[in-house]
Amino acid sequence: MLRRERRPKMVIFDCDGVVVDSEPVTLQLIRDDLAARGLPLELPKVVDLFMGGTMAGAGAQAQSMGAAIPADWVTQIYEKIFAALALSVEPIPGIDAVLDRLDQQGLPYAIGSNGPHRKMEITLARCGLAARFAGRIYSREDVAAPKPAPDVYLLAASQAGVAPKDCVVIEDSATGAQAAVAAGMAVFGFVRDTPPAKFEGLTDILFDDMAQLPALLGLPAE
pLDDT 10s digits, 91-123: 999 999 999 999 999 999 999 999 999 999 999
What is the pLDDT at residue 170?
Answer: 98
In contact, 171 and 191? CB cutoff 8 Å: no
- Asked whether the domain spanning 23-88 has the same topology as the one spanning 10-21+90-216, the reply is no
The arithmetic mean of pLDDT across residues 138-152, rounded, is 97
Q: Residue 117, SS3?
A: helix
What is the pLDDT at residue 3?
Answer: 55
Q: What would the CATH number be for the domain defined by 23-88?
A: 1.10.150.240
Average pLDDT over the chain, rounded to an integer:
94
Where do the structural domains in the chain lie, given as residue ranges? Answer: 10-21+90-216, 23-88
The angle subtended at Cα 124 by Cα 119 and Cα 130, nearest 5°, is: 120
What is the pLDDT at residue 222?
Answer: 75
What is the pLDDT at residue 138?
Answer: 98
Choices 3.40.50.1000, 3.60.21.10, 3.90.1150.10, 2.60.40.180: CATH for 10-21+90-216: 3.40.50.1000
pLDDT band per the 50, 70, 90 thresholds, residue 40: very high
In contact, 153 and 185? CB cutoff 8 Å: yes
The torsion angles phi and psi of 98, rounded to 5 degrees, stand at -65, -45
Smallest Cα–Cα separation from 159: which of 111, 121, 97, 124? Answer: 111
DSSP code of residue 195: -
Percent above pLDDT 70 for the chain? 98
